[in-house]
Every structure is written in C-alpha cells, then in structure tokens.
Amino acid sequence: MNSSPQASPSGSDRGAASDIAEHARPTTAESIISLRGVRKTYFRGKEPIHVLQDLDLEVPVGGYEALMGPSGSGKSTLLNLIAGLDRPSAGSLLVAGADLGAMSDSQLARWRANTIGFIFQAYNLMPVLTAVENVELPLLLTKLSASERKRRAQTALRIVGLEDRMHHYPRQLSGGQEQRVAIARAIVNDPQVLVADEPTGDLDRQSADEILTLLERMNRELHKTIIMVTHDPAAAERAHITRRLNKGQLI
C-alpha cells in the first residue's frame, strides 16, 4: 500500500506556513513553545470544568522541562495542547513556528508527524510489530524508501541501545526496554520536540533512571526540546526547570 506522504512539505503546507507567519507575534528567537492565555474547559453535562485557566508558558529551544502537579491538575491536558492533539477553549499556542489554532485537523496531524515525538506512560507499542517495526511505524508517513526506513529505524534503536533486540516483540521485552523502543520511535522522525507523559510511571527505579539518562542524552546530544510530565521528584531533578500546575495555573 502506498501510504500517503505527509512528512515532506506539500504545497498546502507551505500555504499554511505563510498563514502562520501572518498570525505570528513577536517572540524571543529562542522560544520554541509559546502559550498565551490558554484556557481549557470541559463540560460534564452543563457544568463547566475549568482545567486550564489563562495559562502562559515560554519554553526555550533545547529546554528540558518537568511538569508536576497533583493528579487531575491538567498536566496531560496541557501536554496534549502543546503536542497539537487537542485544541484550547481560548488562547493561542505557537509551537515550533506553527500557530496551532490556525491549522486544520489534517494539517495538525502532518505537523505532529514532523515536529513531535510522543512518549507515553504505558509505552503503547504495537504488540504485533517487532521492536524495529514499531520504530519504523512513523516513517510509513514519509516518502522514504523501504530500505531507508529500515536503516533509520535501526539507527534509532542503536541510539537507545537496543540493536540486539531489534526483532523482539514487545511482550519479549522488559518494561524499561519497551520504553526505550518507544523513545526510538519518538525520535526516528527527528522531531524538534519530545512530549513525555509520566514516562517512568510504570518502571522500577533502575529502569526509570536508565530512561531518564536516555532522555537527558536526547536533550543534550540531539538537542530535543523535552516537556515531561512526572510525579517522580528524582525525574524532575534531571530537568532544567520544574514547573508546577495547580488549579489550572502554572506556579
């Protein structure tokens, strides 16, 4: 099957980019994530739940930030907004040069494929695919040849130290190894931003430390900007900055 090419900018994407330029406001050159007055309100029946309220956030290029806060404080909601998975009720988001509010759903999907790497608490690998195939999955959206896709997937696995587990299925790997495969999948497209929602939440101390070291390397050596939601103070300590979310606001 010919999966459609998404990664390479098509004509319409360039159109979107010029739209973005119009909507852009002056930010400091180093800011890769810039949130202004972001609000997110859910409705449970008729009753509004104000999860995020007038939230501002600036993250510099190459930043590594931890996001902490009590359960239900809106950490995942904020992360999903930054990653372009969800839309705010109000406010604007400028991420990696794109005005997310001005983009259609499919433009957002393409943008995510190019710009964001996802790391989840539950790893979320495809159980029917081997490690290398899981890493290759995002590349199916590119125009790369099969051999080039495979080469890149193998490279990414080598970076996370799992080249010897290439053809193992997720069920044949430990939790820490699964999360390393997930990290390889997140970086295989060379995105600018990694979002990690409690990446060590399901891991023992030692595996968690390995993952944190790996994330540190992604930040330091590959210059990925990382936003990491965590409950673990040891994890937060590895980040450059720890932000706390409480009652819908950053403190």
Ligand X SMILES: Nc1ncnc2c1ncn2[C@@H]1O[C@H](COP(=O)(O)OP(=O)(O)O)[C@@H](O)[C@H]1O
Contacts of 85 (CB under 8 A, 6+ apart): 112
Residue 133 touches other proteins, criterion: CB under 8 A: yes
CA distances from 144 to 3, 71, 151, 185 (A): 11, 41, 10, 16
**Interactions with other proteins, residue window 100-129 (CB under 8 A):** 106, 109-110, 112-114, 118, 120, 124, 126-129
**Interactions with other proteins, residue window 137-156 (CB under 8 A):** 137-138, 140-141, 146, 149
Radius of gyration of the chain (CA): 18
Please work out, in degrees rounded to the nearest 5, the angle formed at the alpha carbon of residue 191 by the alpha carbons of 186 and 193: 90
Nearest to 74 by CA among 102, 98, 54, 94: 54
Residue 51 touches ligand X, criterion: CB under 6 A: yes
Site string for other proteins, 180-199 (x = CB under 8 A): -----x--------------
Closer to ligand X by Cβ: residue 135 or 229: 229
Least distance (Å) from ligand X to the CB of residue 72?
4
Least distance (Å) from ligand X to the CB of residue 203?
18
Nearest to 250 by CA among 29, 38, 4: 38
Amino acid at 168: H
Residue 76 touches Mg ion, criterion: CB under 5 A: yes
Q: With CB under 5 A, what is the number of residues at the site for Mg ion?
A: 1
- Phi, psi at 208, each rounded to 5°: -60, -45
**Interactions with ligand X, residue window 54-113 (CB under 6 A):** 69, 71-77
Q: Which residues bind ligand X (CB under 6 A)?
A: 42, 44, 49, 51, 69, 71-77
